Amino acid sequence: MSKRSTELSAQANKLIEKFNQKRGQIGVIGLGYVGLPLVVALVKAGYEVIGLDADPGKVALLKAGTSYIEDVPSEVIEQAVQAGKLKPTTDYKDLGQVDGVSISVPTPLRKTGDPDLSYIVAVSKALVPVLHPGMVVILESTTYPGTTRELVQPELESTGLKVGEDIFLAFSPERVDPGRKDWTTVNTPKVIGGITHACTEVAAAMYGAAMENVVRVSSTEVAEMTKLLENTFRAVNIGLVNELALMCERLGIDTWEVIDAAASKPFGFMRFTPGPGLGGHCIPIDPLYLSWKLKSVKYNARFIELASEINTNMPRYVVSRVQDLLNTVGRSIRGAKLLVLGVAYKPDVSDTRESPALDVIGLLEEKGAEVEYYDPYVDEVEGDEWSKKSVPDLKKSLRAADCAVLITDHAEFDYSMIADTAPLIFDSRNAFRSRGLDRDHIVRL
């Protein structure tokens, strides 16, 4: 036995041994875009998994062998349920015998801009009655540095069990990118930081049985900050290139040609592209967790705030460009028939969380436009004060529209047909020219 392993408690060594043998029962709380792929990875590793979600509709679908996440085939869920490897539930009592728990619940921002950690707090409290010696709890929900130690640990230790000796607590940031086939839950490196060294080792053993690469860090705060750095890096660079687009439009320079030329440099440059705004749960929101936290230590995160300001204003910029485009053909935006192409936040998925398309549609309607949308992945979508269904006949709607506005560049779109049919197109993604469809009636961001 190594010197480091002798430093661990009997409970820690027992858990590590069980996980190294790919045995044990794991609970996953929150069965969304993060939790459900994690369930599948853990089942494939050999664990029995209790999948818990507050939504009885999701649980009912899973019990019937039906997946509601594109990245998880229904047949995989059906096989896991039928084999007794996956038990979907809404009842925390079912977690009473588990060896480990992974928490993947939402952490949205309130309208006031501060983090809403009510889901994490609620889960922590709900775990108290089922917490037992020899159990590891791993938080995956993105949050600010200090959350695991300051909010979750006191709740768990209210049972009298000590973290690091009787029970174990760690943070491991989720890194799911919905729709990707190359980087998945299994082969994306898994960062893990525990409250104590023992916590890190137990959590690493649990995930190491299912993940190809585990990256240990020294604390929960480092792991929490790692996730925020990843998404702040993207948000700031997207903000930079979005501002480049604003500057190039003022100067009469082709933004996309500039980016292509800069990307020819084999070192010292990373390609980012402008767009109609940020979407998804991570990039538009996560940096603001860090900005909010830093205010408590009297520090102003200027890069984050500036990038957020630029990115947040991009939907309004798109609307102004559409208005200008309509003016070139003598058409007012009020009363104009507009067709938005794509409302998902990224290509080839159905996820509309924080999608800039929702802001664009709302702003267009505020200006009096008649707006419809088409998205092969999203049948129905709601904004703050409106709801719409995807048009059933794309070609017919394109002919009837004064202008089509491309927001999400799904691969499934027939770009040649759209270019041939729509009388006017505003392309916020450079999707048409990148496919060789450079037409006079198509204007790019």
Separation of alpha carbons 192 and 200, rounded Å:
6
**Residue (of 199, 242, 240, 239) closest to 223 by Cα position:** 199
> Do 388 and 373 form a contact (C-beta atoms < 8 A)?
yes
Residue 263 sits at the vertex; the CA angle it makes with 257 and 266, to the nearest 5 degrees, is: 150
Tokens of 359: 């802001």
Cβ pair 42, 210 in contact under 8 A: yes
Q: Which of 199, 248, 282, 403 is catalytic?
A: 282
**Contact present, 410 and 431 (Cβ < 8 Å):** no
Contacts of 98 (CB under 8 A, 6+ apart): 24, 25, 26, 27, 50, 130, 135
Ramachandran quadrant class, 118 (left: phi over 0; alpha: psi -120 to 50; beta: rest) = alpha
Sign (positive or negative) of CA dihedral 395, 399, 401, 403: positive
**Secondary structure (3-state) at 137:** strand
Taking residue 341's Cβ as centre, other Cβ atoms within 10 Å add up to 29
DSSP E strand boundaries for 127-199? 135-139, 167-171, 190-194
Other beta carbons less than 10 A from residue 276's beta carbon = 29
CA distance 101 to 94: 12
Asked about 248 being catalytic, the answer comes back as: no
d(CA 259, CA 274): 10
Which residue from 411, 439, 435 is spatially nearest to 425, judged by alpha carbons? 439
Classify each residue of 8-35 as buried b or exposed e, where b means 16 or more C-beta atoms within 10 Å of its C-beta. Answer: bbebbbebbebbeeeebbbbbbbbbbbb
Exposure string over 290-307, b if 16+ CB within 10 A, otherwise e = bbbbeeeeeeebeebeeb
Cα separation, 222 vs 232, whole angstroms: 15
Closest CA to 312 of 360, 361, 248, 349: 360
By annotation, the residues acting in catalysis are 282
